[in-house]
Amino acid sequence: MRIQFLYFITFLLCSTSFAEIYSVNKEHSAIKFNVAYMKMLTVEGKFLDYSIHYKMDGNKISDIEGRIATDSISTDDKKRDQHLRDYDFFYSKKYPYIEFHSLNSIIALEEQELILELKIKDKVRKVPVKINYLGEKSDPWTKAQGHYFSGSFKIKRSDYDITWNKKLDGNDLLIGEEVTINLQFEAYKGGKRPAFSRFFKERKKPIGEKVDQHEAIVLDLPKTQPLPVVVTKDVQQHVMTDSIDTTTTEIVLNVVVGFIIFSLCIAGGILLQSKISRFFEKRGASDTFCYLSSSTIVMVILIIVSVYTAPYMGHGENPLLKFFK
């Protein structure tokens, strides 16, 4: 019975998981929007500079966070884009970023509803987002697994103090109140771009020779400096830097701290069970009662301890990680 009890505690304390950090690859992703114009047409645009990260544990996706640079807005019209960056709209000089983070987790299966807390300028609103997980594909060169998503949601401009407009005939307005945002994302673990994004170049063949449109070569190019990535303070610890590999540090920290907690729980559990048994024996309880009572009490205590110490052993973000930044 004691061996079975120790097996149970070992399983309870060691059954922790390590969530992986994924980053969106901007080269194969898009944040687009459209809004009514003159009540006749629509104006379409997109944001070119953004940084998005999330955690993935099995098929559970959580802790989605990101920033969008407001001065990266593009509608293929320089004058209009400059107006959108000015104080009438996004006021990029004062509010350089759109920020958001998820309030719930989703499962990477089919269409899910994600609740985002979206901050534009100094206004914060909760918005429901329809997210569709499209599946995963491996890069043909590195075999890295990419995850693919699409999504959409709508917001009202007035909710974020973007109210500039002009009246038309019949009291109609130049710009619509409702904005539709459409999303397409490709994400890789650790933010590593696939080889296809970095080195693809079409092979040139002699005239007259049949060209295989699927054939490509990988160029051995010199390493360049990575593009600057804008992230929130909450996700800076997840970004791979030259000074520290956060994922590796967190894994090592979880293993070391988890082993210490596990050892203390086993030693403390055995000692506590012995003292509880002697306590009941002095009061004339039977051996069976002493053993069952002490085992039950110790098991309940260890379960409570394991719940409170779970973050230190790999369940979510380790609180001690902040000392290793």
Number of structural domains, the chain?
A: 2
CATH code (residue 117): 2.40.128.110
pLDDT tier, 298 (very low <50, low <70, confident <90, very high otherwise): confident
Q: Name which of 155, 130, 63, 56 is nearest 103 in CA terms.
A: 63
12 inside domain: no
Do residues 227 and 272 share a domain? no
Q: What is the pLDDT of residue 148?
A: 95
Do residues 175 and 304 share a domain? no
Mean pLDDT value of segment 63-79: 97
Q: What is the pLDDT of residue 318?
A: 72
pTM of the model: 0.59
Do residues 189 and 66 share a domain? yes
Do residues 166 and 296 share a domain? no
Q: What is the pLDDT of residue 319?
A: 76
Q: Which domain holds residue 135?
A: 20-204+223-231
243 inside domain: no
Q: Give the pLDDT confidence of 145-160 residue by residue, as tens digits.
A: 899 999 999 999 999 9
Q: Length of the chain, please?
A: 325
Tokens of 307: 């719940």
Residue 211 predicted with pLDDT over 90: no
Do residues 227 and 262 share a domain? no
Mean pLDDT value of segment 91-116: 94
Q: How many helices (H) and strands (E) does the chain have?
A: 5, 14
Do residues 186 and 102 share a domain? yes
Q: Give the pLDDT confidence of 123-139 residue by residue, as tens digits.
A: 999 999 999 999 999 88
Residue 245 predicted with pLDDT over 90: no
Residue 85 predicted with pLDDT over 90: yes
Q: What is the pLDDT of residue 166?
A: 95
How is residue 27 annotated by DSSP? G
Q: Name which of 27, 20, 28 is nearest 148 in CA terms.
A: 28
Do residues 173 and 279 share a domain? no
Q: What is the pLDDT of residue 277?
A: 85
CB-hemisphere CA count at 13 Å for 43? Answer: 20
Q: What is the pLDDT of residue 291?
A: 85
Last residue of a domain, one of 176, 196, 231: 231
Give me the torsion for CA of 78, 79, 80, 83, rounded to 10°: 120
Q: Residue 221 carries which side chain, given as an amino acid letter?
A: L
Q: What is the pLDDT of residue 15?
A: 44
